[in-house]
């Protein structure tokens, strides 16, 4: 199994992350447990910034908090000097409670409600990424009504869809997000935004996909967006000063995944921006990227305790863990694949093939098919890697399973950053109508 960040196998033959023995972590905090390698997250934040610093461009690296949002994570991102992308009042509230500088927050979303827009205006959010005509009009009215003029970008769909290993340059016109470029909607949106009171249009945003392993798709998107910058400059004598190219940089979940390094993505983006803008006689804009998965994904590992197992002779051995699709819905949703080891017996030969089942009442609740492990027994600790992004953030209480705790580990120290939910938490918002309070059976 590939060891990410500070992960290593220690003298006891156990998986260690951030200098903490994961078997001890499981004992101290219980399982399932999300373990975040703090140093690795910080290193990646710095790698993105460093890569941009070398390009000479003005830039912002905005962490896409949908990947993993919590007070400690927002604080870490603030400490590292990144900006933040939020897509709801909830993500905005979390950031604000963490003391995140609001002027470095970008507010995204394809259906921001009037209340959410109002809240963001009241908070003084740095920038709104406007997705559609409804929002443009609504935001303009709300901001104007408050005597504000707020910085906005327009999200456009440049007709590029990037997948893991390839990009399709026509595929993504049919998207729920943004103003379509091919049909001319994007131009109408620019024209409309430039005369909408309450907003100040500073550029465009595009996001071409997620878990991307190549740079060609970004280059094509940048070229199409640069054409719109040129058109705007010629038509309205307005020169946009910012360009947001979204996130989507891939990570290594399994051996077949071959992601580029942060600096490779950044260099390719910077080169494309410089050449596409120079050729049109335009000044370089400030470039914004929004990595989510690539900042936290590989830095997160989930620890589970193995419970029951079942062998169907000649067919398969299942081992079941104390979590599942409730804490990691990605295998069930996207057929996502993961690597895993027995954290307490990390050096033992993997001589058995097992499939890892979750504990939810659903056949689809499988975390890993056909995993090589040492013969696993009840109470072994299974560590599943690359669960830092879109795991806690998409976790549910299906089957009324309490959501796991999360810890930041660093230099041998483990800090609880999210408490484990209790059974009481599960019914905290439940109410019994008064007419139902008579004792059952009386
Ligand atoms: N910016 C925008 C506008 C986005 O829509 C997204 C992700 C990102 C940035 C961050 O993308 P990342 O760098 O994390 O790939 N739940 C799915 C992923 C959904 C991504 C949605 N948008 C999953 O678990 O794979």
- Of 291, 311, 339, the residue that ends a domain is 291
Tell me what the mean pLDDT of segment 239-267 comes to: 97
328 lines ligand 1 (CB under 6 A): no
Pairwise CA distance, residues 179 & 192, whole Å: 12
DSSP assignment, residue 440?
Answer: T
Domain of 189: which CATH number?
A: 3.20.20.10
Same domain, 327 and 213: no
pLDDT tens, residue by residue, 357-374:
999 999 999 999 999 999
Same domain, 160 and 274: yes
Closest CA to 318 of 308, 333, 327: 308
- Of 222, 256, 291, the residue that ends a domain is 291
> Is 75 contained in some domain?
no
- 45 is known as an active-site residue: no
Same domain, 136 and 196: yes
92 lines ligand 1 (CB under 6 A): no
What's the pLDDT score for residue 258?
Answer: 94
What's the pLDDT score for residue 173?
Answer: 80
> Across the chain, which distance is largest between two alpha carbons, in Å?
83
Q: How far is the CA of 29 from the centre of ligand 1 (A)?
A: 29
What's the pLDDT score for residue 170?
Answer: 64
> Is 356 contained in some domain?
yes
Atom of ligand 1 at shortest distance to CA of 292?
A: 14
Same domain, 268 and 317: no
CA 7 to chain centroid: 21
Confidence of residue 352 (pLDDT cuts 50, 70, 90): very high
Q: What are phi and psi of 422, to 5 degrees?
A: -105, 170
Same domain, 337 and 357: yes
Mean pLDDT is lowest, of 43-57, 88-102, 126-140, 165-179, for 165-179
Domain of 303: which CATH number?
A: 2.40.37.10
Same domain, 281 and 310: no
DSSP assignment, residue 285?
Answer: P
> Is 225 contained in some domain?
yes
> Is 78 contained in some domain?
no
> What is the number of other CB atoms lying within 10 angstroms of the CB of residue 56?
10
Per-residue pLDDT at 333 exceeds 80? yes
249 lines ligand 1 (CB under 6 A): yes
Q: How far is the CA of 214 from the centre of ligand 1 (A)?
A: 16
DSSP assignment, residue 102?
Answer: G
Same domain, 309 and 380: yes
What's the pLDDT score for residue 431?
Answer: 96
Supply the residue whose CA is at minimum distance from atom 19 of ligand 1.
210
Q: How far is the CA of 392 from the centre of ligand 1 (A)?
A: 14
Taking the CA atoms of 72, 73, 78 and 83 in sequence, report the sign of the dihedral they define: negative
What's the pLDDT score for residue 219?
Answer: 97
Query: 103 by DSSP, 3-state: which?
Result: helix
Confidence of residue 168 (pLDDT cuts 50, 70, 90): confident
What's the pLDDT score for residue 164?
Answer: 67
What is the span of the domain harbouring residue 23? 8-37+297-426
Pairwise CA distance, residues 242 & 269, whole Å: 14
68 lines ligand 1 (CB under 6 A): no
> Is 341 contained in some domain?
yes
Strands (E) in 237-299, as ranges, are 242-244, 286-289
Same domain, 272 and 351: no
> Is 58 contained in some domain?
no
Same domain, 12 and 32: yes
> Is 52 contained in some domain?
no
Same domain, 280 and 303: no
- Of 239, 257, 291, the residue that ends a domain is 291
What is the 3-class SS of 3-72, one letter each residue?
CCCCCEECCCCCEEECCEEHHHHHHHHCCCEEEEEHHHHHHHHHHHHHHHHHHCCCEEEEEEHHHCCCHH
Pairwise CA distance, residues 394 & 325, whole Å: 10
Pairwise CA distance, residues 159 & 81, whole Å: 32
131 lines ligand 1 (CB under 6 A): no
Domain count, the chain: 2
Pairwise CA distance, residues 157 & 317, whole Å: 46
Same domain, 29 and 132: no
Same domain, 257 and 301: no
Q: Which of 65, 248, 337, 391 to mutate to test the pocket of ligand 1 (most atoms within 8 A of CB)?
A: 248
Q: Which of 63, 66, 86 to mutate to test the pocket of ligand 1 (most atoms within 8 A of CB)?
A: 66
For residue 85, the surrounding DSSP H or E stretch is: strand 83-86
Q: How buried is 14 (Cβ within 10 angstroms: 0-12 exposed, 13-18 middle, 19+ buried)?
A: buried
Contact indicator for 358, 321 with CB cutoff of 8 Å = yes
Per-residue pLDDT at 130 exceeds 90? yes
- Give, in order, the Cα–Cα distances in Å from 170 to each of 158, 282, 372: 9, 26, 40
Contact indicator for 62, 295 with CB cutoff of 8 Å = no
pTM > 0.75: yes or no: yes
291 lines ligand 1 (CB under 6 A): yes
> Is 60 contained in some domain?
no
């Amino acid at each position: 199994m590939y060891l990410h960040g500070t992960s290593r196998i220690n003298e006891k033959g156990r998986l260690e992350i951030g200098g903490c023995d994961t078997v001890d972590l499981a004992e101290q905090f219980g399982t399932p447990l999300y373990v975040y390698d703090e140093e690795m997250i910080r290193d990646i934040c710095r790698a993105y910034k460093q890569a941009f610093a070398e390009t000479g461009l003005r830039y912002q690296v905005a962490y896409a908090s949908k990947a993993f949002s919590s007070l400690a994570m927002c604080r870490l991102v603030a400490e590292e000097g990144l900006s933040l992308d939020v897509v709801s009042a909830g993500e905005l509230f979390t950031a604000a409670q963490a003391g995140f500088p609001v002027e470095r927050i970008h507010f995204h979303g394809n259906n921001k409600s009037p209340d959410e827009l109002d809240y963001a205006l009241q908070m003084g959010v740095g920038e709104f990424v406007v997705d559609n005509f409804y929002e443009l009009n609504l935001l303009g009215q709300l901001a104007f009504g408050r005597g504000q003029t707020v910085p906005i970008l327009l999200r456009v769909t440049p007709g590029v869809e990037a997948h893991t290993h390839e990009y399709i340059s026509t595929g993504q016109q049919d998207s729920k997000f943004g103003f379509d470029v091919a049909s001319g909607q994007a131009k109408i949106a620019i024209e409309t935004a430039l005369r909408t009171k309450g907003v100040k249009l500073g550029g465009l945003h595009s996001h071409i996909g997620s878990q991307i392993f190549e740079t060609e798709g970004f280059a094509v998107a940048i070229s199409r967006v640069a054409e719109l910058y040129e058109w705007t400059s010629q038509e309205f004598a307005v020169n946009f000063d910012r360009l947001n190219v979204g996130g989507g940089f891939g990570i290594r979940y399994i051996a077949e995944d071959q992601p580029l390094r942060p600096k490779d993505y950044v260099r390719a983006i910077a080169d494309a921006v410089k050449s596409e803008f120079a050729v049109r006689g335009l000044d370089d804009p400030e470039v914004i990227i929004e990595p989510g998965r690539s900042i936290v994904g590989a830095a997160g590992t989930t620890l589970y305790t193995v419970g029951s197992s079942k062998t169907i002779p000649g067919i398969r051995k299942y081992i079941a863990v104390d979590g599942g699709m409730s804490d990691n819905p990605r295998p069930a949703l996207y057929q996502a694949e993961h690597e895993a080891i027995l954290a307490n017996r990390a050096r033992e030969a993997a001589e058995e093939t097992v499939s890892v089942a979750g504990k939810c009442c659903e056949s689809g609740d499988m975390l890993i098919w056909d995993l090589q492990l040492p013969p696993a027994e009840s109470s072994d600790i299974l560590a599943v890697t690359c669960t830092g992004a879109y795991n806690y953030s998409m976790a549910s209480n299906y089957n009324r399973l309490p959501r796991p705790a999360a810890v930041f580990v660093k230099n041998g120290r483990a800090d609880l950053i999210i408490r484990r939910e209790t059974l009481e938490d599960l019914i905290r918002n439940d109410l019994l109508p008064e007419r139902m309070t008579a004792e059952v059976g009386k």
